[in-house]
């Protein structure tokens, strides 16, 4: 790693704690490694809070290159947020919803038609936008530290966020403590086993360190959930998401997902009453075919 890049060497796998890993390649100066025990692919460096805060300063949400037209696409994002919220309301019709990594609050604003909503967002710029534009309850900071202890949520969402976090395991534990037993967790993230990643991991459009630090698969997401008290229930592929490159436009993304190049998985899980241990191939197989209406066990 070049001396001017942030981060120090990672001591162990962020998911299972195993030290042994194989270095795959370097991307933009950051080493990428695969854990030899659980298989999680991760940036082989630990970034400090200060380093992450600098990376997620105002530029991230306004710079054309990095987060092009995020705020400018307000009406489109409110529309797609409304579609997501309607899907969730078909599973859990009402209650309290927490959106972790809520960014500028577009999904949260749409979800407020169905739920009593709260957001957590690391970026001071984005969280202030959500508060001032929409009047939403959005707390600035990491979900492990925003002071929600003692509150309970029926639905927790995390859209394209977990791959950005310094410690996804700590975040999932914090979320488990905030989720009502039997409650719903929905998260989306890139699938490192998807067709676009398989064409070349180094050139994959979601291989963007230091913004993306973790590259999950159905198996490693199953492990993360099982370790933190969630039961994987459903995985849906809804298309490609790109921050740059040839798939950055909406039209290109829609076309890519229509021809089966979807590389983002939306994962539905239920809060279990106790940790489940390891990942399960049968659980992942069932998660491919179970109807979304049965994402929560015990519902007709
Ligand atoms: Zn591991």
Range of the domain at 264: 74-294
Please list the pLDDT of the chain residue by residue as tens digits (300 residues). 444 677 777 889 999 999 999 999 999 999 999 999 999 999 999 887 778 777 766 555 555 444 555 666 778 888 889 999 999 999 999 999 999 999 989 999 999 999 999 999 988 888 998 999 999 999 999 999 999 999 999 999 999 999 999 999 999 999 999 999 999 999 999 999 988 888 899 999 899 998 899 999 999 999 999 999 999 999 988 655 555 555 556 666 666 665 555 688 999 999 998 778 788 999 999 999 899 988 998 765
CA angle (70 as vertex; 68, 74 as ends), nearest 5? 140
Give the distance (Å) from ligand 1 centre to CA of residue 190: 18
Give the distance (Å) from ligand 1 centre to CA of residue 60: 29
275 part of a folded domain: yes
Helices 218-227, 281-289: inter-axial angle, 10-degree rounding = 110
Give the distance (Å) from ligand 1 centre to CA of residue 78: 37
Give the distance (Å) from ligand 1 centre to CA of residue 217: 12
- The three-class DSSP label of residue 163 is helix
Domain count within the chain? 1
Give the distance (Å) from ligand 1 centre to CA of residue 253: 31
Give the distance (Å) from ligand 1 centre to CA of residue 150: 31
9 part of a folded domain: no
Q: What are phi and psi of 225, to 5 degrees?
A: -65, -45
Give the distance (Å) from ligand 1 centre to CA of residue 13: 5
pTM score of the predicted model? 0.89
269 part of a folded domain: yes
Find the farthest-apart pair of alpha carbons in the chain and give their distance in angstroms, rounded: 57
252 part of a folded domain: yes
Give the distance (Å) from ligand 1 centre to CA of residue 281: 17
Q: What Å distances lie between residue 86 and 101, 202, 230, CA to CA? A: 20, 36, 23
Instruction: Give every CB contact of residue 194 below 8 A, 6+ residues apart in sequence.
Output: 237, 261, 262, 263, 264, 265
CA angle (122 as vertex; 98, 194 as ends), nearest 5? 75
Contact 78, 97 (CB under 8 A): no
* CATH number of the domain encompassing residue 182: 3.40.50.150
Give the distance (Å) from ligand 1 centre to CA of residue 32: 13
Q: What is the pLDDT of residue 199?
A: 84
Side-chain-facing half-sphere of 137: CA atoms under 13 Å: 13
Label the pairing between strands 41-43 and 214-215: antiparallel
10 part of a folded domain: no
- HEC per residue, 217-278: CHHHHHHHHHHCCEEEEEEEECCCCCCCHHHCCHHHHHHHHHCCCCCEEEEEEEECCCCCCC
48 part of a folded domain: no
Residues pairing with 139 in the sheet: 120
Q: What is the pLDDT of residue 41?
A: 98
Give the distance (Å) from ligand 1 centre to CA of residue 36: 7
Give the distance (Å) from ligand 1 centre to CA of residue 34: 8
Contact 285, 274 (CB under 8 A): no
Q: What is the pLDDT of residue 296?
A: 92
127 part of a folded domain: yes
255 part of a folded domain: yes
């Amino acid at each position: 790693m070049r001396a001017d890049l942030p981060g120090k060497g990672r001591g162990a796998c962020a998911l299972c704690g195993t030290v042994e890993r194989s270095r795959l390649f370097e991307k933009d100066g950051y080493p990428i490694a695969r854990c030899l025990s659980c298989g999680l692919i991760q940036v082989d460096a630990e970034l400090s809070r200060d380093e992450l805060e600098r990376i997620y300063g105002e530029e991230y949400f306004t710079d054309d290159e990095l987060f092009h037209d995020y705020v400018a696409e307000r009406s489109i994002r409110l529309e797609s947020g409304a579609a997501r919220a309607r899907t969730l309301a078909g599973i859990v019709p009402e209650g309290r919803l927490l959106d972790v990594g809520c960014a500028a609050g577009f999904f949260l604003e749409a979800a407020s038609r169905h739920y009593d909503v709260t957001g957590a967002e690391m970026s001071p710029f984005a969280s202030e936008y959500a508060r001032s534009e929409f009047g939403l309850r959005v707390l600035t900071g990491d979900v492990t530290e925003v002071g929600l202890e003692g509150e309970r949520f029926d639905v927790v969402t995390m859209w394209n966020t977990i791959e950005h976090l310094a410690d996804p395991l700590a975040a999932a534990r914090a979320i488990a403590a905030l989720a009502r037993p039997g409650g719903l967790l929905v998260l989306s993230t890139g699938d490192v086993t998807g067709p676009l990643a398989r064409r070349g991991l180094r050139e994959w459009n979601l291989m963007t360190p230091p913004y993306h630090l973790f590259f999950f698969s159905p198996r490693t997401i199953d492990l993360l959930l099982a370790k933190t008290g969630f039961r994987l229930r459903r995985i849906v592929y809804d298309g490609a998401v790109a921050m740059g490159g040839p798939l950055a436009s909406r039209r290109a993304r829609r076309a890519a997902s229509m021809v089966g190049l979807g590389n983002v998985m939306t994962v539905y899980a239920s809060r279990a009453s106790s940790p489940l241990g390891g990942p399960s191939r049968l659980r992942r197989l069932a998660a491919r075919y179970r109807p979304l209406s049965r994402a929560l066990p015990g519902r007709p």
